[in-house]
A = this chain, B = another copy of it.
């Protein structure tokens, strides 16, 4: 009886530890999302001070990454999770790497916002950049929702929509090239807008990775290099 109670107690603690990891990941996702939002806002509203804040707040995300990493390693070592739990924990370890790198890209957006706020701007650039930013924000929201609710359908949807982000990125590139050719003096500024677009496109890629991890977490099926491509081809 005592043993059984101990077992129960341990298992409750274990559940609690899993729940803690889960909520930390969700908190990290929320932090990353607000960094991306603030980075975009700083960009399109030429808010250098906000850009500066975004560029220097990355450490909060990094701290959470290290904490979650430690918690995951500890739970594997001490609790020897069963197959499905183990899959979740290993996938969390991978997911937070992508979250952390989205944070890095947000930091870049912040830094670029500071630089761009200091120069005159061509409103045309920013309209398209804002558009791309909205798509990427939607993808991030979708990826984080899919992660929180372990929603495979949503994850698949968001992962497939990454193509649209890529197309929008290409369109913006073409527009920037035209600007630069028409007015070579605009080149340095255009390139900065280009780096912003590149950062946004990479955020889209990371969202896709996270969605693929969600599918793996739930289904135990690795779609990274196989079925996702097939589903894309089937479209």
Which residues of A approach B to under 8 Å, CB–CB?
59, 62-63, 65-66, 69-70, 72-73, 76-77, 80, 82-83, 86-87, 90, 93-94, 97, 173, 177, 180-181, 184-185, 187-188, 191, 194, 198, 222, 224-225
Instruction: List the B side residues contacting A69 at CB < 8 Å.
Output: 222
23 A–B pairs (Cβ distance < 8 Å), ordered by A: A62-B224, A62-B225, A63-B225, A65-B224, A65-B225, A66-B224, A69-B222, A70-B222, A72-B90, A77-B83, A77-B86, A80-B80, A90-B93, A93-B94, A94-B94, A94-B97, A97-B97, A177-B187, A177-B188, A180-B184, A180-B187, A191-B194, A198-B198
| A76 CB contact (under 8 Å) in B66, B86, B185 | B86
Given A73-B87, A177-B191: A66 touches B225 (CB 8 Å cut-off): yes
- Roughly how many angstroms separate A6 CA and B185 CA in the complex, as a whole number? 75
Instruction: List the B side residues contacting A86 at CB < 8 Å.
Output: 73, 76-77
- Roughly how many angstroms separate A225 CA and B58 CA in the complex, as a whole number? 10
- Roughly how many angstroms separate A222 CA and B187 CA in the complex, as a whole number? 41
Instruction: List the B side residues contacting A187 at CB < 8 Å.
Output: 177, 180-181, 187
Instruction: List the B side residues contacting A188 at CB < 8 Å.
Output: 177
**Contacting pair A184 B181 (CB below 8 A):** yes
Given A73-B86, A177-B187, A191-B177: A59 touches B225 (CB 8 Å cut-off): yes
Instruction: List the B side residues contacting A72 at CB < 8 Å.
Output: 90
* Minimum Cβ distance to chain B for residue A198 (Å): 7
Instruction: List the B side residues contacting A173 at CB < 8 Å.
Output: 191
* Minimum Cβ distance to chain B for residue A224 (Å): 7
Interface core residue of A63, A173, A180 (most chain B CB under 10 Å): A180
Instruction: List the B side residues contacting A65 at CB < 8 Å.
Output: 224-225
Instruction: List the B side residues contacting A90 at CB < 8 Å.
Output: 72-73, 76, 93
Instruction: List the B side residues contacting A59 at CB < 8 Å.
Output: 225
Instruction: List the B side residues contacting A180 at CB < 8 Å.
Output: 180, 184, 187
| A93 CB contact (under 8 Å) in B93, B184, B222, B225 | B93
Instruction: List the B side residues contacting A191 at CB < 8 Å.
Output: 173, 177, 194
